[in-house]
């Protein structure tokens, strides 16, 4: 059996698809199971034993120069022709909405079947089997995606955990940056970056949170962010915000600055830390997939659908549905409460 799963959107979306991949592997242990992802999120699947092959393409908005546009298109066409020659049994559109563009792409591959979510429109006639976009139940994204397994004969199976594998080399590199050995102190990872305005916490709030956490003796703090200028048209960065947050902690050996140029670096440092503070988004799902307790700051997104999947957590969402309105004192209290629940204290290991 030859199965292609298409999930071309964001990091968190692909993380939420990993339980479906695990169920497909359990149901069809000898199958060729490939995933079509984009070059931005493909590292989520690095080392995943449930996947036979990860096929990547570069979104045109991520192509750096006009000269690189034609080669990117040529690679995309070559990849599509290769997939068509695979004589696929089924293509699973692993998104919880309906995209006519993705359905047309699947049809070009001439598989035996295309399955996915349908909006009931004539365009959805490209799907051979489908689920309705909404059944009225508020469900987590993992549950929604995993429901597609029933369309290919893998129904009735318990939903596995989300899964991401941190590279041993990246974890080792990250641990080398920690101020104390991982066996000696708890480490809190604080991620600054969030693309959507409603999910962004101001630099002053991050600084105040770090001040509060430094009151815990021996606690190490790693500040992570996406590097680059905020004005970058394709990949806005948070260098200026990080500089503002870290300015008053220069010389403090318990606060580590760790910009992540690549997704593998972010996964490696999250794997090296004990507990994570971040806004709702890709980082919260990566942390959950690594089994880390998470304090997650929510703005205007649906907590029921996007909260970290099945890990110890504290979720904070203000009535205004703006992360900027969450007091740092509330985040510090949530973090300490979560740590006490897990280990009895945020203080160094005994």
pLDDT in tens, 175-211: 999 876 656 679 999 999 998 999 999 999 999 999 9
Residue 46 Cα to chain centre, angstroms: 13
Per-residue confidence at 141, pLDDT binned at 50, 70, 90?
very high
Measured from the Cβ of residue 248, the count of other Cβ atoms closer than 10 Å reads 12
Residue 226, SS3 per DSSP = coil
Question: What Cα–Cα distance (Å) separates residue 15 from each residue in 20, 46, 110, 228, 306?
Answer: 10, 12, 27, 24, 11
In the numeric block, which tokens belong to residue 237? Answer: 């960065």
Domains of the chain and CATH, by start? 2-152 (3.40.50.2000), 168-343 (3.40.50.2000)
pLDDT at residue 156 above 80?
A: yes
- Closest Cα to residue 45, out of 162, 158, 157? 162
Structure tokens at 296: 């997650």
Residue 294 confidence class, pLDDT cut points 50, 70, 90:
very high
Average pLDDT in the 124-150 region?
Answer: 91
* Nearest of 345, 317, 342, 344 to residue 331 by alpha carbon: 317
- Give the pLDDT band of residue 230 (cuts 50, 70, 90): confident
Which helix (H) or strand (E) is 5 found in, with range? Answer: strand 2-6
Task: Share the mean pLDDT of the chain.
Answer: 91
For the stretch 313-347, pLDDT in tens is 999 999 999 999 999 999 999 999 999 999 998 87
For residue 59, name the pLDDT band (cuts at 50, 70, 90): low
In 3-state terms, what secondary structure has residue 230? coil
User: pLDDT confidence of 81, banded at 50, 70, 90?
Assistant: confident
> CB neighbours of 109 closer than 8 A, spacing ≥ 6?
4, 80, 83, 84, 86, 88, 91
44-48, 221-225, 232-236, 289-293: least confident range = 232-236
Mean pLDDT on 78-95: 88
Angle (CA) 35-41-44 rounded to 5° is 75
In which order are the strands placed within the sheet that holds 90-93?
53-57, 32-38, 2-6, 90-93, 113-118, 129-132
Cβ neighbours around 280 below 10 Å, total: 27
When pLDDT is cut at 50, 70 and 90, the band that residue 63 belongs to is: very low
């Amino acid at each position: 059996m030859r199965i292609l799963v298409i999930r071309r959107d964001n990091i968190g979306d692909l993380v939420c698809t990993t339980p479906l991949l695990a169920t497909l592997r359990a149901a069809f242990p000898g199958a060729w199971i490939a995933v079509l992802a984009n070059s931005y999120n493909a590292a989520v699947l690095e080392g995943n034993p449930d996947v036979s092959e990860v096929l990547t393409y570069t979104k045109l908005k991520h192509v750096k120069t006009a000269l690189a546009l034609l080669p990117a298109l040529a690679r995309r066409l070559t990849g599509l022709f290769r997939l068509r020659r695979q004589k696929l049994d089924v293509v699973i559109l692993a998104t919880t909405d309906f995209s006519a563009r993705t359905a047309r792409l699947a049809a070009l591959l001439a598989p035996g079947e295309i399955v996915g979510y349908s909006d009931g429109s004539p365009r959805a006639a490209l799907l051979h089997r489908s689920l309705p976009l909404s059944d009225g139940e508020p469900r987590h994204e993992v549950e929604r995606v995993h429901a597609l397994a029933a369309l290919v004969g893998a129904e009735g199976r318990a939903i596995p955990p989300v899964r991401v594998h941190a590279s041993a080399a990246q974890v080792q590199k990250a641990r080398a940056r920690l101020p104390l050995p991982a066996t000696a102190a708890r480490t809190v990872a604080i991620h600054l970056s969030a693309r959507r305005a409603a999910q962004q916490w101001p630099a002053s709030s991050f600084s105040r949170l770090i001040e509060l956490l430094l009151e815990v003796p021996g606690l190490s703090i790693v500040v992570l962010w996406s590097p680059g200028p905020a004005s970058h048209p394709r990949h806005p960065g948070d260098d200026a915000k990080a500089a503002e947050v870290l300015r008053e902690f220069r010389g403090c050996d318990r606060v580590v600055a760790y910009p992540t140029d690549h997704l593998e670096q972010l996964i490696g440092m999250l794997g090296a830390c004990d507990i994570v503070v971040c806004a709702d988004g890709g980082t919260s799902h990566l942390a959950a997939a690594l089994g880390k307790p998470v304090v997650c700051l929510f703005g205007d997104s649906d907590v029921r659908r996007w909260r970290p999947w099945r890990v110890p957590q504290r979720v904070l969402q203000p009535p205004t549905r703006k992360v900027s309105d969450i007091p740092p004192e509330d985040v510090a209290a949530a973090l300490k409460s979560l740590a006490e629940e897990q280990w009895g204290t945020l203080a160094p290991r005994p």
